[in-house]
Amino acid sequence: MKLQRGIVLFVALIALVLLSVASIALVRSFGAGASIAGNVAFKQAATQAGDIGVELAFNALKTNILPSKMDINIPLQYFALMQVDDLNGVPKNIDWGKYPCFGTSADPTQPTVVCDDESTYRVQYVIDRQCESAGGVLPVTNIEKQCIIGPGDDIGSHRAGNVVFSSPPSVFYRVTVNVRGPRKTSSIVQASIAF
């Protein structure tokens, strides 16, 4: 009878350890990929929820601000003059911790939601009229010189030789929306609205 030295057992154990390490690495890489995909999905959902903030701001402009409060700053909602931007183009003086949060319904009568509730998406917005005034003095007296405006609509007949009428120019308003969601997701969305 020959003496066995157990070298095959030793090689088999090393192969088993290598296979275990490889399988652990595979499971971890799959988990990291799934985590990254989940984070991207949350970020995209937050960006899409920014549309709700734009819609809420549009409704506030149309129903509350433009009829009577165009030249008045409304705390935590509206600035009558253009705000100074940071390097990312977001107004500097906004403390999002003070602004009300809304849910993901575009209904302008929806109640505010708790800003610290991380189980859902929360939308905050601020509007600043794209007008400047020397020394920040209100009201804006010359819309065409102090504001960023768009051309008025041509109305009337377009037949050669007929008079073409123009509506007054539109003033631009910048809407900045902050969206926060699950897993500390955050997104800033901006839109321009002309009235």
Domain positions in the chain are 7-194
Q: Which two tokens stand for residue 114?
A: 């708790």
Would the pLDDT of 121 be above 80? yes
How far from the centroid of its chain's Cα atoms is residue 128's Cα?
Answer: 15
Cα–Cα distance measured from residue 126 to residue 93, given in angstroms and rounded to the nearest whole number: 11
Alpha-carbon radius of gyration of the chain: 29
Q: What are phi and psi of 47, to 5 degrees?
A: -65, -40
- 151 pLDDT band, cuts 50/70/90, is confident
pLDDT tens digits, 74-91: 999 999 999 999 998 899
| Amino acid identity, position 5 | R
Confidence of residue 111 (pLDDT cuts 50, 70, 90): confident
Between 141 and 130, the higher pLDDT residue: 130
- Better-predicted residue by pLDDT, 62 or 68: 62
Q: Which of 11-15, 114-118, 125-129, 150-154 has the highest mean pLDDT?
A: 125-129
In this structure, the number of other CB atoms found within 10 A of the CB of residue 175 comes to: 22
